[in-house]
Chain A
Amino acid sequence: MDLPYRRYFEEIPCYVTVQDRDFRVVDANRRFREDFGDPKGRFCYQVYKNRPERCEICPVDQTFEDGQCHRNEEQVLTLDGRQISVMVYTSPIHDETGAITSVLEISADITEVKTLQRHLKESQRRFRLLFEEVPCFISIQDPELRIVDTNRSFKENFGGFPGSKCYEIYKHRDEECVNCAVRQTFKDGKIHHSEEVVTSIQGEQLNTLVFSAPIHDANGEIQYVMEMSTNITPIRELQSQLESIGLLISSVSHNIKGLLTGLDGGMYLVNTGLQKNNQQRIGQGWEMVQRNIERIRGTVMNILYYAKKREPSWEAVAAPALVEEVCGLIEPKARENGVALVRDIDGGAGEFEADAKAMRALLINLVENSVDACRVDTKKPSHAVTVRLKGLPDQMVFEIADDGIGMDRRTREKAFTLFFSSKGSEGTGLGLFIANGIAQAHHGRIGIESELDKGTRFVVTIPRSRKVPDQGGKPEP
Chain B
Amino acid sequence: MAAEKKTILVVDDEPDVRTFLSTLFEDNGYATVMAQDGNEGLSRVKEKAPDLVTLDITMPNKSGVRFYREMKESAEWKKVPIVIVTGVSGDFRTFISTRKKVPPPEGYLSKPIDKTEILNLVKKLA
Contacts and interface: CB of A to CB of B under 8 A. Distances in A.
Interface string B25-41: 00100000000110010
27 contacts: A250-B88, A254-B87, A255-B87, A257-B87, A258-B14, A258-B17, A260-B111, A261-B16, A261-B20, A261-B111, A262-B14, A262-B17, A264-B113, A268-B20, A269-B20, A269-B23, A288-B19, A291-B16, A292-B16, A376-B36, A376-B60, A424-B13, A424-B56, A425-B14, A425-B56, A425-B88, A426-B13
A81 B64 CA distance: 101
A425 B16 contact: no
A265 B36 CA distance: 17
B116 to A, nearest CB: 12
A409 B24 CA distance: 40
Interface of A: 250, 254-255, 257-258, 260-262, 264-266, 268-269, 272, 281, 284, 288, 291-292, 376, 378, 422-426
Give the interface SS of chain A, mostly helix, strand, loop or mixed.
helix
Contacts of B21: 265
Contact of B113 (A250, A261, A288, A422): A261
Interface in B44-59: 56, 58-59
Given A292-B16, A424-B58, A424-B60, A264 B27 contact: no
Contacts of B59: 424-425
Q: Which residue, B23, B61, B87, B115, has most C-beta atoms of chain A within 10 A?
A: B87
Contacts of B14: 258, 261-262, 425-426
Nearest to B63: A424
A268 B13 contact: no
Contacts of A266: 16, 20
Given A257-B112, A376-B13, A378-B36, A262 B20 contact: yes
Contact of A261 (B13, B17, B23): B17
Given A269-B23, A272-B27, A423 B60 contact: yes
Interface of B: 13-14, 16-17, 19-21, 23-24, 27, 36-37, 40, 56, 58-61, 64, 86-88, 90, 110-113, 115
Nearest to A425: B58
Nearest to A264: B112
Q: Which residue, A261, A284, A378, A422, has most C-beta atoms of chain B within 10 A?
A: A261
A424 B17 CA distance: 14
Given A378-B36, A425-B86, A265 B13 contact: no
Nearest to A423: B60
A416 to B, nearest CB: 18
Given A378-B36, A425-B59, A284 B113 contact: no
Contacts of B87: 254-255, 257-258, 261, 425
A266 B16 CA distance: 8
B20 A265 contact: yes
Nearest to B22: A265
A296 B95 CA distance: 28
Nearest to B21: A265
Given A254-B87, A425-B58, A272 B23 contact: yes
A378 B60 CA distance: 13
A269 B58 CA distance: 24
Q: Which residue, B16, B17, B19, B86, has most C-beta atoms of chain A within 10 A?
A: B16
Contacts of B56: 424-425
Q: Which 7 residue pairs spanning A and B have beta carbons closest together?
A: A265-B20, A262-B16, A257-B87, A260-B112, A257-B111, A424-B59, A425-B58
Contacts of A423: 60
B101 to A, nearest CB: 25
Contacts of B61: 422
B18 to A, nearest CB: 9
Contacts of A425: 13-14, 56, 58-59, 86-88, 111
Contacts of A281: 23
A440 B122 CA distance: 50
Given A261-B17, A266-B16, A425-B111, 15 more contacts: A257-B87, A257-B110, A258-B14, A261-B113, A262-B14, A262-B20, A264-B115, A265-B16, A266-B20, A272-B23, A376-B60, A425-B86, A425-B87, A425-B88, A426-B14
A226 B112 CA distance: 59
Contact of A265 (B19, B37, B64, B110): B19
Contacts of B16: 261-262, 265-266, 288, 291-292
A281 B20 CA distance: 11
Contacts of A292: 16
A441 B111 CA distance: 36
Contact of A269 (B19, B37, B113): B19
A213 B108 CA distance: 58
A355 B34 CA distance: 43
A388 B19 CA distance: 34
A265 B23 CA distance: 9
A254 B111 CA distance: 9
Given A265-B19, A268-B115, A272-B27, A378 B40 contact: yes
Nearest to B59: A424
